[in-house]
Chain A
């Protein structure tokens, strides 16, 4: 089967969806919402996106792309360069290695898997930053952030499923 130029462009555009959605979420996560105490516990939207797409379409979200997204997040958020990149790439490899388990299972299991990943990511972030600042940082804020991320996951997962169906189903 030969594809015309337009079909190929269309295919390429659709294949960009996971990457584009994740980059969009990096920006959305930065919007000041003017809710008291919100920024401290703002959910890690990119982690949700990376988790979902690695399970469903790892071929469209390569490690290098994930690393670049992490770097962009670091540059924009003022975090030490490479911190988010480290967390996202670590999450990427863990999820990829357990992909079969997640793919075959129900939504409840998908969510449960995300609980593990979100807590692990929070712990990794805390450990990396404690090492970076050479002091033991308080853990509670990171923990609360992970909790909010977990609670909001179904909402965003629904969004990802809609996008997945709209753009990437044959």
Chain B
């Protein structure tokens, strides 16, 4: 254990090599489990298909209204930016990867995914699923890499509260709900507010949703992650703002604004 603290680089290298070596086996093992999980899920989905349809219809109606609002604001934003000589944010691109291992254990929250250096993965990239952020890349091998989940005790993510714009750091503590730290004292924080990445430090694009404040109490402010961390099957790793990024990275280039 001490070696890991003394010579971190060596241990990291060894770790990514061993993970690389075992990635094909883990990949093969994870496929039947994923298929079984999908089969169970589809049975459940078929049973609920009618209610789901109803729900989606009403949600679609609501989203169309939001879309109108968003388009109007986008136009307004664009015109205001031309007035202000605003430097645009670099565009983000995505690498999609499959989760092949979720090491069990009560004290660690990591995932191993099937994308590595040759796919353009780099240390520090944010890992997101459909609804929100799940973690960041901590270790990169040739064709596999490790993602540290936001609930792990080593995880620290700079965040902003969406409506009050207060800054804080989201700190994992191995429970299902990470805590917010370094909030200003007596900050007006209420349960139900959304927490998004702040983009400070330049690693993550700003505005990726992470969680919703669950409770404010003596033991700190607890945040429920938006993404279901125990059922992640595919992840997108966000390439953001690092120098050579941009046009050359392939097809997945999208605007980071999609997350707002």
Per-position binary interface string of chain B over residues 9-26, scored 1 when its CB falls under 8 Å from any chain A CB and 0 otherwise: 001001100110010011
Establish whether residues A32 and B30, one from each chain, have CB atoms under 8 Å apart when the complex forms: yes
Chain A residues within 8 Å of B148, by CB: 78
Interface residues in A69-126 by Cβ distance below 8 A to B read 72, 75-83, 86, 125-126
Establish whether residues A76 and B104, one from each chain, have CB atoms under 8 Å apart when the complex forms: no
Establish whether residues B29 and A27, one from each chain, have CB atoms under 8 Å apart when the complex forms: yes
Establish whether residues A133 and B1, one from each chain, have CB atoms under 8 Å apart when the complex forms: no
Chain A residues within 8 Å of B173, by CB: 138
Cβ of B101 within 8 Å of any chain A Cβ, yes or no, is: yes
Given A30-B26, A39-B104: A81 touches B18 (CB 8 Å cut-off): no
CA distance A36 to B153 in the complex (A): 20
Chain A residues within 8 Å of B106, by CB: 40-41, 141-142, 144-145
On chain B, which size bracket covers the interface? 35 or more
Interface residues in B25-58 by Cβ distance below 8 A to A read 25-26, 29-30, 33-34, 37
Cβ of A18 within 8 Å of any chain B Cβ, yes or no, is: no
Establish whether residues B1 and A35, one from each chain, have CB atoms under 8 Å apart when the complex forms: no
Establish whether residues B107 and A33, one from each chain, have CB atoms under 8 Å apart when the complex forms: no
CA distance A83 to B107 in the complex (A): 11
Residue in contact with B33 in the complex, picked from A33, A37, A75, A76, CB distance below 8 Å = A33
Interface residues in A11-36 by Cβ distance below 8 A to B read 27-36
Establish whether residues B19 and A81, one from each chain, have CB atoms under 8 Å apart when the complex forms: no
Cβ of A129 within 8 Å of any chain B Cβ, yes or no, is: yes
Cβ of B223 within 8 Å of any chain A Cβ, yes or no, is: no
Cβ of A38 within 8 Å of any chain B Cβ, yes or no, is: yes
CA distance A80 to B12 in the complex (A): 11
Establish whether residues A77 and B110, one from each chain, have CB atoms under 8 Å apart when the complex forms: yes
CA distance A128 to B34 in the complex (A): 33
Establish whether residues B230 and A38, one from each chain, have CB atoms under 8 Å apart when the complex forms: yes
Interface residues in A38-77 by Cβ distance below 8 A to B read 38-44, 72, 75-77
Given A30-B101, A138-B175, A141-B174: A77 touches B108 (CB 8 Å cut-off): yes
CA distance A34 to B104 in the complex (A): 12
Chain B residues within 8 Å of A163, by CB: none
Per-position binary interface string of chain B over residues 70-84, scored 1 when its CB falls under 8 Å from any chain A CB and 0 otherwise: 000000000000000
CA distance A70 to B30 in the complex (A): 21
CA distance A137 to B174 in the complex (A): 8
**Nearest B-chain residue to A38, judged by Cβ:** B230
Given A29-B104, A75-B14, A75-B18: A39 touches B30 (CB 8 Å cut-off): no
Per-position binary interface string of chain B over residues 152-183, scored 1 when its CB falls under 8 Å from any chain A CB and 0 otherwise: 01000000000000000000011110000000
Establish whether residues B1 and A83, one from each chain, have CB atoms under 8 Å apart when the complex forms: yes
Chain A residues within 8 Å of B18, by CB: 72, 75-76
Cβ of A132 within 8 Å of any chain B Cβ, yes or no, is: yes
CA distance A40 to B173 in the complex (A): 13
Per-position binary interface string of chain B over residues 216-244, scored 1 when its CB falls under 8 Å from any chain A CB and 0 otherwise: 00000000000010111100000000000
Interface residues in A132-158 by Cβ distance below 8 A to B read 132-133, 137-138, 141-142, 144-145
Per-position binary interface string of chain B over residues 107-120, scored 1 when its CB falls under 8 Å from any chain A CB and 0 otherwise: 11111100000000
Cβ of B103 within 8 Å of any chain A Cβ, yes or no, is: yes
Other A-B pairs beyond A35-B231, A81-B1, A125-B107, 6, CB < 8 Å: A35-B37, A40-B176, A76-B22, A76-B26, A79-B103, A138-B174
The residues of A with any CB-CB pair to B shorter than 8 Å are: 27-44, 72, 75-83, 86, 125-126, 128-129, 132-133, 137-138, 141-142, 144-145
What are 10 A-B residue pairs whose CB atoms fall within 8 Å in the complex?
A30-B112, A32-B33, A35-B37, A39-B103, A39-B230, A41-B104, A77-B108, A82-B1, A128-B1, A141-B107
Closest 3 CB pairs of A and B: A42-B104, A77-B103, A141-B106
